[in-house]
Amino acid sequence: MTEKEKCHKGLLYDANYDEELLRERAVCKDLCYEYNSLRPSMIAERTEIIRRLFGKTKNNFLIEQPFYCDYGYNIEIGENFYMNVNCVILDGAKVTFGDNVFVAPNCGFYSAGHPLDAEKRNMGLEYAFPIIVGNNVWIGANVTVLPGVSIGDDAVIGAGSVVTKNIPSGVLAAGNPCRVIRELTEKDKNKYRME
């Protein structure tokens, strides 16, 4: 079994020294470098690089610069996806975002992690578990999402949170570790005026 196959099965794998994974990360880093070097006004060129980089995109999305990821091909984004500046996706495993997802600045989505055992960690071994973000989710600034986490539809994650466990749909959650604060209600829909 290759190191990449081990990774996709959720097993410990060699991320630091495996030639195939090193090569794939180098290709990704080159595309990120190219993307981050473009002028913000070069929207068509930016869109093309993201389409080449990511595993799946819909039609309408915007990812502000700078942006960084490990492989790119494990990232899937839905329609009307927006990611603000200085975000990182470590996509050793699949990282999926639904439709109408807003990600604030300085967020990290880390599907990769390291063993607690120092001996295994020092061998360059790591694991990767998928991250799933549902539809209509807003993720506040400086949020960290850890391996294996799912965030349900219509959830709001407060700024500065560290999401270590699954978050259900339709809630406001925040904190370190992130926990449900309360359910979102009809009152929340009417809090801000449109006119």
Active site residues per annotation: 114
Q: Which residues contact 134 (CB under 8 A, 6 or more apart)?
A: 98, 150, 151, 152, 153, 154, 155, 169
| Residue 132, strand partner residues | 96, 150
Rounded CA separation 180/170 (Å): 10
Name the one residue in this structure whose structure tokens are 């801000």.
Answer: 192
Question: What is the number of alpha carbons within 13 Å of residue 109 lying toward its C-beta?
Answer: 32
Q: Which amino acid is at 83?
A: M
CA 70 to chain centre: 11
